[in-house]
Amino acid sequence: NAGVTQTPKFQVLKTGQSMTLQCAQDMNHEYMSWYRQDPGMGLRLIHYSVGAGITDQGEVPNGYNVSRSTTEDFPLRLLSAAPSQTSVYFCASSLRTRNTEAFFGQGTRLTVV
Amino acid sequence: AQKVTQAQTEISVVEKEDVTLDCVYETRDTTYYLFWYKQPPSGELVFLIRRNSFDEQNEISGRYSWNFQKSTSSFNFTITASQVVDSAVYFCALSEALGNKLVFGAGTILRVKS
């Protein structure tokens, strides 16, 4: 079982460039989410989805877009990268019911120069 | 609004010492869930425990134990006889009853020296 797979693991972007962080899970989890981790701030929720075709904003959504066309995939798009988006990004998935634990991907370390 | 506070930014102990990591939370919900995650130097997030707001029993798993007290809105984590492999960042998190959105504390860096 692969669990939650994120690609790429590392990425350097120039300011203004766009890119997509990929996230895929093979556990048939309804709930998927994206977090960013910054020093001293823990993880903060960017966007989440409770199922295919349904997405919503989290705490820090500005500058990011998401879509959920299938249960398995939940890509995160940076429209025009800014240095403030330098961070480590984690994708997570979980069963929707009963607040089971979230399974996290390995993370993507993004640097915007 | 929900909030999780981990006041200890960094703790250093010597191997075999016991250490307690503090977690204080705020929520208006009567039903909620609390979690602890471990982030070792390799960077992944490892689930340790989940507790719902109606279950105040303390839990022990090997060298790990958790003390949940609703009266003080705390969910503290104790490692007994710490080992170097326990060195990591530990996150406490809270989620509301409906939905699985996690609110994380800032994390506590634990350094265990041999």
Q: Do B95 and A58 touch (CB under 8 A)?
A: no
Give yes or no for A97 touching B (CB within 8 A). Answer: no
- Closest partner CB to B106 (pick from A40, A90, A94): A40
Contact A52, A70 (CB under 8 A): yes
pLDDT of residue B99: 64
Evaluate if residue A97 carries a pLDDT over 80: no
- What's at A40, amino acid-wise? G
pLDDT above 70 as % of chain A? 96
Q: Could you report the per-residue pLDDT of A58-78, keeping only the tens digit for each? A: 999 999 999 999 999 999 999
Evaluate if residue B65 carries a pLDDT over 70: yes
Which whole number is the average pLDDT over A39-44?
91
- Of these ranges, A48-52, B51-55, B105-109, the one predicted with the greatest mean pLDDT is B105-109
pLDDT of residue B85: 97
Evaluate if residue B89 carries a pLDDT over 70: yes
pLDDT of residue B98: 65
Give yes or no for A3 touching B (CB within 8 A). Answer: no
Evaluate if residue B15 carries a pLDDT over 80: yes
Which whole number is the average pLDDT over A21-36?
96
* Cβ neighbours around B45 below 10 Å, total: 24
pLDDT of residue A41: 87
pLDDT of residue A40: 85
Give yes or no for A39 touching B (CB within 8 A). Answer: no
pLDDT of residue A98: 63
SS3 B6: coil
Shortest alpha-carbon distance between residue A61 and chain B (Å):
14
Give yes or no for A89 touching B (CB within 8 A). Answer: no
* Cβ neighbours around A94 below 10 Å, total: 23
pLDDT above 90 as % of chain A? 88
Shortest alpha-carbon distance between residue B73 and chain A (Å):
19
- The rounded distance, in Å, linking the Cα atoms of A14 and B72 is 47
- The rounded distance, in Å, linking the Cα atoms of B55 and B57 is 6
pLDDT of residue A1: 64
Kind plus residue range of the DSSP H or E element containing B49: strand B46-52
Contact B46, B40 (CB under 8 A): yes
pLDDT of residue B67: 95
Evaluate if residue A56 carries a pLDDT over 70: yes
Residues 93-112 of B with CB under 8 A from A: 93, 95, 97, 99-107
Evaluate if residue A99 carries a pLDDT over 70: no
Residues 57-76 of A with CB under 8 A from B: 58
Give the residue, B29 or A7, on which the prediction is more confident: A7
Which whole number is the average pLDDT over B9-24?
98
Per the prediction, chain B carries an average pLDDT of 94
